[in-house]
């Protein structure tokens, strides 16, 4: 009898999460794995696969300035530019797997570089670089400004703000995240021709200048338990508009992050936990 696995490759992985935003992380330095859209969709299935919001890939870099390449794929197989919660898990992963002995690493993503630093108790601090508010040439089909952007939605004008944290975000201020029609608004925004490349949508409830609540509907994924880059986006918008202080606690469905930003011309920092759940392998 021919083994079911005879012509398949064994791929080792780790399951991790950052505030319940979960990931499959694969070391592509010590093993070969070629991510295809079909394979990623199969692996991300929570009933028949591993199940995850994003797949994270650790790669060697040819550039001596960087320690690693950091690649991110959404569960539908699309490669994306950024994932803040994933960055923290990436940092913990390369340390746990002894791919580095550094507590502070520089990694290259699709659109920018990140500095990831291991603090105490699996807390990870990430230098997310300066938020980019001039992103119309990168993501939008129209020239808009973050301070005053209005789109037609269900015969009403919806005011939102946009920013890039390496990936595009639309931030909407709401009175209550519990009562906000997150899925309805998100699906309507996704249909808008302005967002020609898709966008992550954050719903921000401001409790005070140092504390906000946030729900995020991620591009290609749907609403997740937390979104690190979404937290950075919401806080950067609030600081740019002078309605938040320079250090903000962000309360997401999956837990809390601390976001720090001194304003224009300065990098933004995100601090939060990363958790290793288990190691495994799968035949692909």
Asked whether the predicted pLDDT for residue 7 surpasses 70, the reply is no
What are 150's two structure tokens? 């209005």
- Residue 137 banded pLDDT, cuts 50, 70, 90: very low
On whether the CB atoms of residues 173 and 148 are closer than 8 A, the answer is: no
- Please state the separation of Cα 21 from the chain's center in Å: 9
Give alpha helix (H) positions in the chain. Answer: 37-44, 84-96, 136-139, 182-190, 228-240
Higher pLDDT, 141 or 169: 169
Q: What residue spans define the domains of the chain?
A: 10-129+274-283, 136-266
* Residues 12-24: tens digit of each pLDDT: 999 999 999 999 9
On whether the CB atoms of residues 220 and 74 are closer than 8 A, the answer is: yes
> Which residues fall in the annotated binding site?
21, 54, 74, 84-85, 167, 200, 218-219, 228-229
Higher pLDDT, 65 or 5: 65
Asked whether the predicted pLDDT for residue 142 surpasses 80, the reply is no
Active-site annotation holder among 89, 160, 170, 227: 227
- Residue 135 banded pLDDT, cuts 50, 70, 90: low
CATH code of 136-266, in short, is 3.10.310.10
227 is catalytic: yes
DSSP E strands in 143-267: the ranges are 149-153, 156-164, 168-173, 200-208, 211-218, 222-224, 247-252, 255-261
Q: Does domain 10-129+274-283 have CATH number 1.20.120.50?
A: no
Q: Report the distance separating Cα 216 and Cα 203, nearest Å.
A: 6
Mean local confidence (pLDDT), 260-267: 96
* Residues 95-107: tens digit of each pLDDT: 999 999 999 999 9
- Report the C-alpha dihedral over residues 130, 134, 140, 142, rounded to 10 degrees: 170
Percent of the chain whose predicted confidence (pLDDT) is above 90? 71
On whether the CB atoms of residues 135 and 170 are closer than 8 A, the answer is: no
Higher pLDDT, 36 or 144: 36
Active-site annotation holder among 28, 83, 89, 170: 83
Asked whether the predicted pLDDT for residue 223 surpasses 70, the reply is yes
How does the average pLDDT of the chain come out, rounded? 89
φ, ψ for residue 197, nearest 5 deg: -115, 15
* Residues 165-212: tens digit of each pLDDT: 988 898 999 999 999 889 888 888 877 777 767 889 999 999 999 999
> Which residues fall in the annotated binding site for substrate?
21, 54, 74, 84-85, 167, 200, 218-219, 228-229
- Same topology, domains 10-129+274-283 and 136-266? Answer is yes
Choose the weakest-confidence range: 148-162, 216-230, 259-273: 148-162
φ, ψ for residue 28, nearest 5 deg: -100, 20
- Give the residue from 61, 126, 62, 140 showing the smallest Cα distance to 89: 126
Asked whether the predicted pLDDT for residue 225 surpasses 90, the reply is yes
* Residues 41-91: tens digit of each pLDDT: 999 999 999 999 999 999 999 999 999 999 999 999 999 988 999 999 999
Quote the pTM value.
Answer: 0.89
Q: Report the distance separating Cα 232 and Cα 75, nearest Å.
A: 22
- Give the residue from 63, 163, 169 showing the smallest Cα distance to 107: 63
On whether the CB atoms of residues 217 and 223 are closer than 8 A, the answer is: yes
34 is catalytic: no
What are 23's two structure tokens? 């990931």
């Amino acid at each position: 009898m021919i083994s079911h696995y005879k012509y398949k490759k064994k791929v080792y992985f780790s399951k991790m999460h950052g505030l319940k935003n979960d990931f499959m992380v694969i070391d592509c330095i010590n093993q070969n794995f070629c991510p295809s859209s079909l394979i990623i969709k199969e692996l991300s299935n929570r009933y028949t696969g591993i199940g995850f919001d994003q797949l994270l890939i650790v790669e060697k870099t040819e550039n001596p300035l960087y320690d690693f390449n950091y690649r991110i794929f959404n569960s539908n197989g699309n490669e994306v530019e950024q994932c803040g919660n994933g960055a923290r898990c990436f940092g913990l992963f390369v340390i746990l797997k002894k791919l580095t002995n550094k507590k502070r690493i520089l990694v290259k993503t699709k659109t920018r570089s990140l500095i990831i630093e291991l603090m105490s108790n699996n807390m990870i601090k990430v230098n997310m670089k300066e938020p980019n508010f001039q992103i119309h040439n990168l993501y939008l089909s129209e020239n808009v400004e973050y301070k005053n952007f209005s789109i037609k939605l269900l015969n009403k004008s919806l005011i939102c703000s946009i920013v890039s944290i390496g990936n595009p975000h639309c931030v909407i201020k709401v009175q209550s995240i519990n009562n906000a029609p997150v899925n309805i608004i998100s699906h309507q925004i996704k249909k808008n021709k302005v967002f020609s490349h898709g966008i992550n949508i954050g719903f921000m409830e401001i409790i005070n200048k140092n504390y906000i609540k946030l729900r995020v509907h991620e591009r290609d994924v749907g609403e997740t338990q937390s979104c690190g880059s979404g937290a950075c986006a919401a806080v950067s918008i609030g600081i740019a508009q002078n309605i938040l202080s320079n250090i903000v606690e962000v309360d997401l469905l999956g837990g809390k992050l601390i976001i720090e930003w001194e304003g224009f011309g300065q990098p933004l920092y995100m601090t939060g936990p990363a958790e290793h759940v288990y190691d495994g392998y799968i035949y692909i």
